[in-house]
Structure 1
Amino acid sequence: MPITIKSDREIRLMAEAGQILAKVHEELEKAICPGITTGEIDRLGEKLIRSYDCIPSFLDYHGYPASICVSVNNEVVHGIPSDRRILQEGDIVSLDAGVIHRGYHSDAARTVGVGTVSDVARKLIYVTRDSFFAGLEYAREGNYLFDISKAIGNYAESRGYGVVRDLCGHGIGTELHEAPEIPNYDVGRKGVKLKAGMTLAIEPMINTGTWEVDWLDDDWTVVTRDGGLSAHYENTILITEGDPVILSLRKKET
């Protein structure tokens, strides 16, 4: 699949999708508290998405059974929500969500603490978010795709964290996953040259221990191999002739 360059109309629609998704994440984060189930989070997320006349990107995507991926503690991504999974004080929870707005996707993830969390958990969340912004510095026309990957990986690894290698970011537009794939570590190559109009979902997944992961028997949930904590931070961005634009982030969040 070739990398698509979006038209002005497409960029406008993706910006609208991104702002809707940012609002959904804002409301989900407000709802996170000890005692809530991951199933309740999923139902709230779907209700919010549909309230904006959007469709959840993830629901039934390759058979995924929910609208929000809710991953707790050592779960990296794709955790399946359940009314049997109750969040506890001190947990961390990664919320990965996507919306389809007038045929265009936006994809974003946040990791938040449940009540009061440990210093280890809090630092992991911050480093994961900051590794995204380290990569974003290189998301400029004329740079190369894997400049982003190298900056993300170097930032997290230099601070002693494991950077997941089995999963990556991606292009996005009329499809949830488009070319190119975007690793979160230095792959030792340049990759394609970035051009204005590219839309990318950049998503570091960072672990307190090893970068290695395993898949559970549900064929969806990815967990850290050593049982350590994992955090996830993602935004849909636009490459421009100047600074990159984060489409799925409200201005007050920057």
Structure 2
Amino acid sequence: MRLALFITCVNDLVYPATGEAVVRLLRRLGHAVEFPGAQTCCGQLHANSGYRDEALPLVRHYAEVFAPYDAVVTPSGSCAAMVREWYPRLVPEAADVAARTYELSELLTDVLGVTDTGASYPHRVAYHPTCHGMRVLGLGERPLRLLRAVRGIDLVPLPGAEECCGFGGTFALKNAGVSAAMLADKCRAAESTGADVLAAADNSCLAHIGGGLSRAGSGLRTVHYAEILAAGEGS
């Protein structure tokens, strides 16, 4: 299988360690991963903000860049949701490559049949299911199944896990007051777990939550779950 990594803008510019973790993890599982250098933004920000005409060239470019691959993996529930949910509507000819684009947990469990990545992570971890991953992709228990198999992990439930953190891309800018209130609720819930680490499938949401925790003086760290799955000996 010819497999490509779609890193996404946020990860490429701010959290490159997450993309590196995905490659390290898949190589450990015996799969080669290619990184097409011509990839750009998926157009989610444009489309979600009402600039759909401006998103179209990005959609077409994504379809062209990733057309040669059997599968495309991305460590972002929101970007995977953009590709799978909106690409077929915006540019019908992009539907084929959209169907071959997977969020990391989907690729591991549904395509590769993996539930144990061989990771070791001796920390107390709570998991926040992000909105796009939960409500659009329907990831369900996939990330949690993978995390439960990690050696040494103490995976604890997050109260109100299915409640939005308040980020929502430009929502946090246009509705700052509401966003801040939602963030405060999420931070309180996360701190109540006694966890050392809060994990999720989207670094954008983790950046929002991590900012709230930092401003509150919390010692709780935010870590993309791909970095947990790639941790341990042999990684």
TM-score by length of 1: 0.29
Structure ranking higher in helix proportion: 2
Structure ranking higher in strand proportion: 1
